[in-house]
A and B are shown apart, each in its own frame.
Chain A
Amino acid sequence: MKHLTRALLGASALTLVATAVMAEKLTIATVNNGDMVRMQKLTDDFTAKNPDIELEWVTLEENILRQRVTTDIATKGGQYDVMTIGTYEVPIWGKQGWLLSLNDLPDSYDKDDLLPAIRGGLTVDGELYAAPFYGESSMVMYRTDLMEKAGLEMPDAPTWDFIAKAARAMTDKDNEIYGVCLRGKAGWGENAAFLTATANSFGARWFDMDWKPQFDGDAWKNTLNFYIDLMNDAGPPGASSNGFNENLALFQSGKCGMWIDATVAASFVTNPNDSTVADKVGFALAPDNGLGKRGNWLWAWSLAIPAGTQKAEAAKKFVDWATSKEYLALVAEKEGWANVPPGTRTSLYENPEYAKVPFAKMTLESINSADPKNPTVDPVPYVGVQFVAIPEFQGIATQVGQQFSAALAGTISADEALANAQSLTEREMKRAGYIK
């Protein structure tokens, strides 16, 4: 009996060890934002369904993550099996052959349910290279009480002229109320993203069809002058240092009449735990200028699998789970509909429960009105609404953003900023071989 017990215990131990050895460990690189953190908390559901797969998370700040995963994928380092990347990286990396195609995800995944604008941004030559985890555009978030006090009514689809008029009417600098808060902090993902999207609605573009920079045209001049005048009249002090988080803090503490930024902010500003104005927020589409394009962008944090991974099958299982309809239902069940990752699937917006979320309709309309392949009025040789999907863009746009930020701070004029942006972009594009 004693021997039998020992033998059974030994066999059990061996089985446990064998299971541990057999379990495949996936290393997942991700960003630190609310939706991703929520996913990490819900992974028990995945591991219960896939006991042979272990998950190991590497959560990093966005810029550090971008640097890490770019180094790793470019050198085939093999550190990660699943990477969280954005719509900027997917077309570039997909073309390079650095990502595995996800066209062979099972039928149950229902690729046709993905929002067309988002799916288009993640597809290269017919191959889906990343599965969207959440999608976002930009829109106007405004204080309903201040709008009413100013005697104005926000239309669902405002023009820039209306935004300027409302911003000036809502501003009460003595009481630290500023009509509009917009990004001013330099960076390709900060003010350059906002101003590129805004410029689209003014008919501006980064490059013509021959890749010649276009900052010397009237469209960019009108964009930058409008932005600087508006911010000087109705923006908060020190706006050239304000990015998403700074403006979020200003809006939540009741100091902004309007804020035009990522749709994902809607859940923050309406959260009564963090926002002092949670019950006084309205939403509208990003403004236009009557030229047929709105100043909203398109972005999706997506899960992609590097081509060099040894664990492709397990990685695909995880990507399938995390971006599936079932995952959205799981989040709704555990955390409520308002916390479901937005902007990826048509079926979510057809769900009557989700339709009750106050910002759902405006988020969908904003995403649907962005077209990464035809971002502005005139044709362009690039893909991307608030970015240009070429490897050189990060460096160039950060420098251009510094020029715009300096113009907003008043250290140089708008004309100087545009002239500098034109010459530095020309120099970099020549260096990269796009133009001679």
Chain B
Amino acid sequence: MARAISTRRQITVTILAWVIGITIFFPILWTILTSFKTEAEAIASPPSLFMFDWTLENYGEVQERSNYFRHFSNSVIISLGSTVLGLLIAIPAAWSMAFVPAKRTKDILMWMLSTKMLPPVGVLIPIYLIFRDTGLLDTRIGLVIVLTLVNLPIITWMLFTYFREIPGEILEAARMDGAMLWDEIVHVLTPMAIPGIASTLLLNVILAWNEAFWTLNLTAAKAAPLTAFIASYSSPEGLFYAKLSAASTMAIAPILILGWFSQKQLVRGLTFGAVK
């Protein structure tokens, strides 16, 4: 009896999981399908899901009009650069807060998170002026810096919660064996925290890849990543849905593929603790 209930429950949960999964994925699927339609078919009512004349003309036009690879390489450099720089700052910060907490550590953590509550547009003009005066407008290094700062609170928090689960005794034992601070972080803490660091890294890459406010506002022609590439295909006057869908598909494809191959690590890092 117990087994029957368990099987039924399993089926229900599986169906529910599929429904939720398909619901979440549907907008992406719709975008991909629309990218293979003509503009007339893209606005047809009722819309056709699969029964239409499949065409690659939108991809051809997007390729002809835009330099996809320049935007792509900017996205790769900006997202990887900001992730590496962010981790270099966040790992020691999270270590100190997890293993050597001070009286105000909790307040500092809250303060860090509170910076995420500020609407970015509120600081656009000051940051724009700083970038203008330092020559960082429309540069990849400028975006690496700003995206590092934007995502730093989240990755520090993630690593902090992860490190906190590592028993302090392990580090103490390492110290008793003569490990210095550097050895402790590099040879003891980091190997134990690799799943957590990996999931933080992946999440930060995804956040940086998708970031659209700063990447649109601080770039012009040279450092514009794929977000600007997508924005160039939206139009208030004229049909553009099919071409915009093709541009969006090209922009999300790399991160979708990365997410697909790393989903195991991502889920493991986000759901399991360090020592489980």
Contact = CB atoms under 8 A, between A and B. Distances in A.
Contacts of A268: 238-239
Interface in A37-62: 37, 40, 56-62
A172 interface: no
A274 interface: yes
Of the candidates B45, B220, B237, the one having the most CB atoms from chain A within 10 angstroms of its own CB is: B237
Nearest to B234: A61
A58 B239 contact: no
B128 A77 contact: yes
Interface in A15-31: 27, 29, 31
A76 B216 contact: no
Contact of A79 (B40, B65, B220, B235): B220
B240 interface: yes
Interface string B119-150: 00000110011001000011000000000000
B223 to A, nearest CB: 11
B217 A67 contact: yes
Given A67-B217, A80-B220, A253-B43, A243 B65 contact: no
A275 B38 CA distance: 12
B233 interface: yes
Interface stretch (B82-90, B178-186, B224-232): B224-232
Contacts of B224: 58
Contacts of B138: 79
A75 B239 contact: no
Interface in A230-256: 243-245, 248-249, 252-253, 255
B39 interface: yes
Contacts of A79: 137-138, 220
Given A68-B216, A77-B137, A61 B232 contact: yes
Given A40-B65, A61-B231, A274-B39, A243 B132 contact: no
Contacts of B39: 274
B27 interface: no
A75 B129 CA distance: 7
Given A68-B217, A71-B217, A268-B239, A249 B65 contact: no
Nearest to A248: B239
B132 A78 contact: yes
Interface string B204-246: 0000000000001100110010001001111111111000000
A60 B235 contact: no
A249 B231 contact: no
Nearest to B232: A59
A64 B216 contact: yes
B44 interface: yes
Contacts of A40: 65
Interface string A251-272: 0110100000010110010000
B78 to A, nearest CB: 17
Contacts of A62: 235-236
B238 A75 contact: no
A33 interface: yes
Contacts of B124: 71
Interface in B159-196: none
Contacts of B232: 32, 58-61
A273 interface: yes
B40 A245 contact: no
A337 B65 CA distance: 22
Nearest to A77: B132
B237 A245 contact: yes
B217 A60 contact: no
Nearest to A189: B236
A40 B67 CA distance: 13
Contact of A34 (B38, B128, B238): B238
Nearest to A299: B237
Interface in A54-113: 56-64, 67-68, 71, 75-80
Contacts of B43: 249, 252-253
Contacts of A33: 235, 237-238
Interface in B92-136: 124-125, 128-129, 132
A56 B70 CA distance: 13
A248 B39 CA distance: 12
Contacts of B238: 33-34, 245, 248, 268
Nearest to A34: B238
A264 B221 contact: no
A57 B231 contact: no
B132 A245 contact: no
Nearest to B216: A64
6 contacts: A60-B232, A75-B128, A245-B236, A268-B238, A274-B40, A275-B40
Given A32-B234, A245-B240, 18 more contacts: A27-B221, A29-B220, A32-B232, A32-B233, A32-B240, A33-B237, A40-B65, A58-B220, A58-B224, A58-B228, A59-B232, A68-B217, A71-B128, A75-B128, A249-B239, A253-B44, A268-B238, A274-B39
Q: Which 7 pairs across A and B sit closest by C-beta, in order of nearness?
A: A61-B234, A249-B43, A59-B232, A79-B220, A56-B221, A32-B235, A62-B236
